[in-house]
Chain A
């Protein structure tokens, strides 16, 4: 359990937590989109891509719940092997990697529909 609690902290930082941060950024961009984009059809397209990105993160969260259950089961077993635990963590890492790739693809898809000025409103420098 100690392994699970703290390691999942780590994976939260590496996975769910980071995803949650970016989900917040996307929701903020959705709110700001009508301010940045006045043309109706363009706005609709941008909102559609942003909503797909949010949905992708939600899918990841659901996947993470399943993987976490698998991991917790191993972690509760004092006799589980390091290989079993690492295997479960690798599957979480793979899910995170898939999410990263998809989010980068969506980022560039979104970029095709907005100009630099609109982008700076949607995603201001941190």
Chain B
């Protein structure tokens, strides 16, 4: 059950980082750039057909850009939410407005991200997909705990 362990590790490690450093990038922070580097390298190694390789590399870049854009917006959204909460006189309407804006922003990022991710999947074979997946194990902070969670 390697996949669930890996995903859980992503959750745990990044959650800890965000909680401690207030969402700024730390040494173990997985960024669009680090994902780009790993996937880029592995796509070049795994796919020899130039057209498919070019297509996959373009989708990898789209993924990385989407992740970075989301990271920036998430940082800003968290800061805004904390600032508003600290204002004793903030109204429910202000919270509703902020929530609506952040929800729309998040869904927009999701759409962009999903298109790139599914585009990448379409550009590779199932075997290549599995190989690219394993390549993400090398990213810092993605290490399952001993109990497998």
CB B29 to nearest CB in A, in angstroms, measures 10
- Which chain A residue has the least Cβ–Cβ distance from B67? A6
A17 in contact with B15 given A2-B121, A2-B136, A6-B35 (CB within 8 Å): yes
Are A5's CB and B19's CB within 8 A? no
**A9 lies within 8 A of B10 (CB):** yes
Query: Which chain B residue has the least Cβ–Cβ distance from A92?
Result: B110
Which of chain A's residues have a CB closer than 8 A to the CB of B101? none
Identify whether the interface residues of A are mostly helix, strand, loop, or mixed: helix
Whether B7 pairs with A68 at a CB distance below 8 angstroms is: yes
B114 touches A6 (CB 8 A): no
Q: Does B109 contact A (CB under 8 A)?
A: yes
Please count how many residues in chain A sit with their CB below 8 Å of the partner chain's CB atoms: 47
Contact-residue size bin, chain B (C-beta under 8 Å from the other chain):
35 or more
Choose among B6, B78, B109, B113 the residue that contacts A21 (Cβ–Cβ < 8 A).
B78
Using a CB–CB distance below 8 Å, which chain B residues touch chain A? 3-4, 6-8, 10-11, 14-15, 18-19, 22-23, 30, 35, 39, 63, 66-67, 70-71, 74, 77-79, 81-83, 85-86, 88-89, 92, 95-96, 99, 103, 106-107, 109-110, 113-114, 117-118, 120-121, 126, 129-130, 132-133, 136
Pull 22 A–B residue pairs with CB atoms less than 8 Å apart, ordered by A.
A2-B63, A3-B120, A4-B7, A6-B63, A7-B114, A7-B117, A9-B67, A10-B70, A10-B109, A10-B110, A13-B70, A18-B74, A20-B19, A21-B22, A21-B82, A22-B81, A72-B3, A111-B88, A116-B89, A119-B86, A124-B86, A126-B82
